[in-house]
Structure 1
Amino acid sequence: MRNIKKKLYTFIVLLVFAGISSADIAMAQSERPLAIVKRFKPDVTLQNLDIDKYIKLDLEENKGERLFDGDSLSTDEEGFALVVFMDASVAKVKPSSLLILNGSVATASKAMNTRINLKNGEIFLNVEPQGGNDFEVATNRSLASVQGTDFGSRFDGFVWVEEGQVDVTALNSGQTVSLFEQMYAQVDEQGNNVDSGTLTNEELNSLGEGYSEMENDLIQKEIKLRFRDQNGQLREITIDVFEEGEN
C-alpha cells in the first residue's frame, strides 16, 4: 500500500509541474522553486523576510504556489498543507506548524539539495530515493538525514519511521542513530542524547493519525507537458497522469 501511494504521488507531481509549464513560465536558475504547495486548507501563510514576501494562501488564487529557498510556510490551528518537491517527494504539514525551506535545484541535471527547518509543529514525509542528493529535516536540537523513506518529524526532536531508513543526529553532541521501519528516536532538549526504540503497531498508527486530511481519490487526466530543453527550445509531450480529486 505504501509503495502504491509513492507511485501515485509521483504521478501527482508530474501534473503539478506540467500545469506550471503549460503556462509558459520560464524560470532562471536562481528562480527555480524547491517545491509547490499542491493542496492546502486555510489558513496557510507563506513568508520570506529577505525579499519582504507575505502571502496568505487563497483557495481560488494560490493553488500550485511555488516555494523558494528561504521561504517559510505556516499553518494555523486548523490549517493543513501538502507540499510537493521538485524530486516528487511529498511533505504533509499538520496544523500549528512552521517550517522554513532551504536548498537548491540544478537546471541541467537532477541535482537537488533540500533542508526543512522545522520550527514548530509536525510533518510527515514521503521522500523519494535521493541518489547523490541531500534531503534533511532539522530542528533546534536534531538533524534527520534521509535517502528515501516514509517518516514523521516533530519540532521537539522526535522522529519516527514507517518505512526505509533515517539517520538522526543530536546537534550538540553529534551522536547519530539509524532508524529503520517502525522505530523512533527522541533527541533531548540540550541536543546531547538520542533515545531510540521500537514502536508497537498501535503507537505507529496513532502517530499517523491526521495525515489523511490532504489525501483524496485520484482521477486520471491527459495533459500536455511543456518545457525548455538545455538549448532553450520549447518541447511538448502528452502524458497520462493522476490528480487528486476534490472534496
Structure 2
Amino acid sequence: MMKISKKVLYSFFTFLIVMGVVSAEVAAFQADRHIGVVRRFKPDVTVTNLDLEKYIKLNLSENIGEKLFAGDSLFTDPEGFALVFFMDRSVAKVKPNSLLIVNGEVETTRKSSNTRINLERGEIFLNVEPQGNNDFEVATSRSLASVKGTDFGSKSNGYTWVQEGQVDVTALNSGQTVSLFEKMFAQVDEPGNNIESGTLTDQELSNLNEGFDEVDNNLIRKEVILKFRDQNGQLREIIIEIFEEEGQN
C-alpha cells in the first residue's frame, strides 16, 4: 500500500482551506459567510451555536479547518489551545479555559469586513492585520479594544497589553478611552468606569506572552497569490497567508 507522507496530507488540507476561501471570495452573493477558520487546535476544543443547535467537539481527523460563523462560540478546556484565522488575515491564539464568541461579516464586493470577539472567559493573543476600512474589536464585560493593526493580548477581566502597534481601550460604563502603544497595558476596573494604564518591562511582557506559542510552534508563514476569473470574466487575484509546518516528511 502506498504510504502518504504527513507533508502531503498537510498540503492537501491547506489546499482545501485555501480553496474554501477562494470560493467565498468568488461567491460574493452568498448571504451566509464564515468569519474565521480554526486552523490548528489541541484537544479538547468545542464549537457551539445555541441558536442553530450546533455542537461540535473538534476532532483532528474530521475538523481540520472548521469554519466559524457569526454567533459561534469556541471553548477550550483546561488543556486546550486553538489557532483561529480570520478572513481579514488576522490570527487569534486562544489559551486553555477560554470562551469566545465571534461576530461580524465579510463583504467581498467592497473588500471590507468587521470582526468582533466577545471574550467571556480566559485569554487570547491576536495578530491583527492593518485594517484599512475594516473594523476589528475585542470586547469583555468591562472593556472594548478597537484595533487597526497590531500584536496584542487580552484577558476577560478587562486587561489588555500591546506588543506592537496601537490599541484603543474603552471602559464600557464610563466611555473613558486610552490609546496603548508598544509595551503598554491597560486594566479596566470591574464596574467598567476607570482605566489604569502604564508601561511594561521586557520581563513583564515576556510573562504575559508565555504559553501562546503552543499552537504555532514549527509553523512558517507564507503568502500565496491566487488568480481566478469572477462572474463577469474579469481576472482577479487575492493574497492568502497560509502556515506550513516545518520539518514534516
Give TM-score, length-normalised by structure 1: 0.84
Distance of aligned partners of 1:40 and 1:118 in 2 relative to their CA distance in 1, 3 Å threshold:
same
Q: d(CA) in 2 for partners of 1:23 and 1:173?
A: 43
Aligned with 1:29: secondary structure? Answer: coil
For 1:162, the equivalent position in structure 2 comes to: 163
1:131 aligns with 2:132: yes
Which amino acid in structure 1 is aligned with residue 18 of structure 2? A
Contact 1:29–1:106 (Cα < 8 Å) also in 2: no
Structure 1 residue 218 displacement after superposition = 3.8
Q: d(CA) in 2 for partners of 1:214 and 1:23?
A: 27
For 1:152, the equivalent position in structure 2 comes to: 153
Q: Deviations over 1:105-133 (max 9, x none)?
A: 00313210000000000000000000111
For 1:37, the equivalent position in structure 2 comes to: 38
Structure 1 residue 244 displacement after superposition = 2.8
Structure 1 residue 206 displacement after superposition = 0.3
Q: Deviations over 1:34-75 (max 9, x none)?
A: 000000001000011111111000001001000011011010
Contact 1:216–1:246 (Cα < 8 Å) also in 2: no
Aligned with 1:99: secondary structure? Answer: strand
Contact 2:94–2:123 (Cα < 8 Å) also in 1: yes
Q: Deviations over 1:87-120 (max 9, x none)?
A: 1100000000000001010031321000000000
Which amino acid in structure 2 is aligned with residue 55 of structure 1? I
For 1:67, the equivalent position in structure 2 comes to: 68
Aligned with 2:48: secondary structure? Answer: strand
Aligned with 2:31: secondary structure? Answer: helix
Aligned with 1:20: secondary structure? Answer: helix
- What is the number of residues matched between the two proteins? 234
Q: Deviations over 1:122-177 (max 9, x none)?
A: 00000000011110000001000000000000000000000000000000000000
For 1:189, the equivalent position in structure 2 comes to: 190
Unmatched 5+ stretches in structure 2: 1-13
Structure 1 residue 231 displacement after superposition = 3.4
Q: d(CA) in 2 for partners of 1:184 and 1:156?
A: 13
Q: d(CA) in 1 for partners of 2:241 and 2:160?
A: 36
Q: Give the number of the structure with larger relative contact order, counting CA–CA contacts within 8 Å between residues 6 or more apart.
A: 1
**In angstroms, what is the RMSD of aligned CA positions?**
3.1
Contact 2:171–2:193 (Cα < 8 Å) also in 1: yes
For 2:201, the equivalent position in structure 1 comes to: 200
For 1:110, the equivalent position in structure 2 comes to: 111
Q: d(CA) in 2 for partners of 1:155 and 1:239?
A: 30
For 2:211, the equivalent position in structure 1 comes to: 210
Q: d(CA) in 2 for partners of 1:133 and 1:240?
A: 18
For 1:7, the equivalent position in structure 2 comes to: none
For 2:101, the equivalent position in structure 1 comes to: 100
Distance of aligned partners of 1:142 and 1:62 in 2 relative to their CA distance in 1, 3 Å threshold:
same
Contact 1:15–1:243 (Cα < 8 Å) also in 2: no
